[in-house]
Amino acid sequence: MPAFGEQTSAAEVLRPHAEDAFAAELAALAARDDRPRPARWKLSPWAVATYLLGGTLPDGTVITPKYVGPRRLVEVAVTTLATDRALLLLGVPGTAKTWVSEHLAAAVSGDSTLLVQGTAGTPEEAIRYGWDYAQLLAHGPSRDALVPSPVMRAMTEGTTVRVEELTRIPADVQDTLITILSEKTLPIPELGQEVQAVRGFNLIATANDRDRGVNDLSSALRRRFNTVVLPLPASPEAEVDIVTRRVDQIGRSLDLPSAPDGTDEIRRVVTVFRELRDGLTSDGRTKVKSPSGTLSTAEAISVVTGGLALSAHFGDGVLRAGDVAAGVLGAVVRDPGTDRVVWQEYLETVVRERDGWQDFYRACREVSA
Ligand SMILES: Nc1ncnc2c1ncn2[C@@H]1O[C@H](COP(=O)(O)OP(=O)(O)OP(=O)(O)O)[C@@H](O)[C@H]1O
Ligand SMILES: [Mg+2]
């Protein structure tokens, strides 16, 4: 999408789009990729999967992993986009649904910006088209007065469009997608015309399976999608790896000095989150109560990023227990009543007794008081 007004350099942008942030990797993949590409795809399905999962090309170019998780899921997701079915990424909060959809669109179409954000107030125009009222009043309905939606643009350009939080969109508005996904056309009755999707068009939707209403996705619409469920990280090691990578990337984009070694603190945050999420300590011996929040990997990433900023600006530059304690407390205690009780109990029965965790216990006590 072209920038509005005078554009600052890509390096100045607070959060570059995936296709800009990883332009060099995408170009390297495109140059080495000699496998067949579906119509209007920038890369072959194999190269798209490599972009997401990471790897080393024959000439030594390193592709960083964007998504850490089961390879097969990524392969199914990419393959779906090459068929006539749309892709639905489903999962609990913070399982990288939005992240994966952005990177898929960037790798497949070279453009991740065609996006409809689903909310309870998303109108039909956001999925079909709207009108430029000045034009409409002056000249009546015409091609010039029509304002295409991101979906319509993807249909005419043969690219990927993303719909975030599909299940939050009111049912009748969701159903607008049925004709688009099954007939691949978008009628414009006002003009007596239609838009026919060209090859390369597809749609990636994300939905949170904690949201109420996920089952309200009409069966007619659901049949148009292949669903891929993104899981929580399978092991603590995988989760520590994800958090470490993302914190490093985010830290660099915020110009935070890179911490010498934050792995110990990251491991502790991940352990606490997993134990509270699972309702069981990692040795499987002690049951603990779960708080009301989700304590996702995404939240662990922001707790650690916040801790790094604290240690950089107010500490000695080394990530310590005191830098993450307040963040952990904030993530765990969402409901000041019940969650606080859950947290205190966990702190006193698990954290306090754990070997080598005394500094963490003290830091948590200090902020919990
Ligand atoms: N398996 C994973 N691999 C790589 N990054 C991950 C993984 N899980 C979570 N993340 C990171 O978590 C962050 C949040 O992910 P994202 O916003 O895409 O989650 P989401 O599933 O869309 O959540 P929500 O349901 O709240 O919208 C991203 O920065 C992403 O990099
Ligand atoms: Mg999301």
| Tens digit of each residue's pLDDT (9 = 90 or more) over 122-170 | 999 999 999 999 999 999 999 999 999 999 999 999 999 999 999 999 9
Which CATH number fits the domain that encloses residue 137? 3.40.50.300
CA of 297 relative to ligand 1 center, distance in Å: 7
Distance (Å) from CA 142 to ligand 2 centroid: 36
Considering the domain architecture, whether residues 111 and 209 belong to the same structural domain is answered as: yes
Q: Classify strands 193-196 and 185-188 as parallel, antiparallel or unpaired.
A: antiparallel
Distances (CA, A) of 271 to 108, 282, 354, 357: 36, 7, 12, 12
- Residue 254 belongs to a domain: yes
Residue 246 CA: nearest ligand 1 atom is 31
Q: Which domain holds residue 216?
A: 10-229
3 falls within a domain = no
The answer to whether residues 245 and 167 belong to one domain is no
Give yes or no: residues 216 and 242 share one domain. no
Task: Give the ligand whose atoms come closest to the C-alpha of residue 240.
Answer: 1
Q: Are residues 69 and 131 in the same domain?
A: yes
- Measured from the CB, is residue 96 less than 6 Å from ligand 1? yes
pLDDT in tens, 297-334: 999 999 999 999 999 889 888 889 999 999 999 999 99
Same domain, 209 and 267: no
Which residue, 176, 203, 229, sits at the end of a domain?
229
- Please work out whether the CB of residue 302 comes within 6 Å of at least one atom of ligand 1: no
Residue nearest to ligand 1 atom 1, measured at CA:
68
> What's the pLDDT score for residue 305?
93
Q: Is 273 in the pocket of ligand 1 (CB under 6 A)?
A: no
Q: Which residues of the chain have pLDDT under 70?
A: 6-8, 10-11, 211-216, 258-260
Q: Return the half-sphere exposure (C-beta side, CA atoms, 13 A cut-off) of residue 168.
A: 16
Is 180 part of a structural domain of the chain? yes
Looking at the domain assignment, is residue 4 inside a domain? no
Taking the centre of ligand 2 as the mean of its atom positions, its distance from the CA of residue 349, in whole angstroms, is 34
104 Cβ inside 6 Å of ligand 1: no
Shared domain check, 356 and 287: yes
What tokens does 259 get?
A: 């911490």
Q: What does the pLDDT read at residue 256?
A: 77
Angle formed at CA 62 by CA 60 and CA 99, multiple of 5 degrees: 160
Q: Which of 179, 197, 229 is the last residue of a domain?
A: 229
220 part of a folded domain: yes
Q: Are residues 181 and 278 in the same domain?
A: no
Helical (H) or strand (E) element with 20: helix 18-21
The whole-angstrom separation of Cα 369 and Cα 186 is 59
Q: Are residues 176 and 241 in the same domain?
A: no
Q: Measured in angstroms, how far is the CA atom of residue 213 from the centroid of ligand 2? A: 16
My answer on whether 257 and 147 are in the same domain is no
- DSSP characters over 288-333: ----SS---HHHHHHHHHHHHHHHHHHS-SS--HHHHHHHHHHHH-
Residue of 304, 309, 320, 310 whose CA lies nearest to 358: 320
Q: How many domains does the chain have?
A: 2
pLDDT (0 to 100) of residue 100: 98
Q: Which residues of 125-155 are buried (b: 16+ CB within 10 A; e: fewer)?
A: ebbbbbeeeebbeeeeeeeebbebbbbbbbb
2 occurs within a structural domain = no
Task: Specify the pLDDT at position 336.
Answer: 87
| pLDDT on residue 4 | 76
**pLDDT at res. 219:** 86
Residue 84 inside a domain? The answer is yes
Do 216 and 339 lie in one domain? The reply is no
What's the pLDDT at 253? 80
| Helices and strands per DSSP (H, E), number in the chain | 16, 11
Domain boundary among 200, 229, 258: 229
pLDDT at 318: 86
Same domain, 293 and 316: yes
Which residues place a Cβ less than 5 A from the ion ligand 2?
97-98
Question: Do 152 and 28 reside in the same domain of the chain?
Answer: yes
- Tokens 């409901």 sit on residue: 335
Would residue 171 count as lying in a domain? yes
Ligand 1 centroid to Cα of residue 152, in Å, is 27
What six digits make up the tokens of 369?
């008081």
Mutate to test the pocket of ligand 1, among 95, 211, 299 (most ligand atoms within 8 A of CB): 95
Task: State the Cα angle at 11 between 5 and 17, rounded to 5°.
Answer: 75
pLDDT score at 214: 52
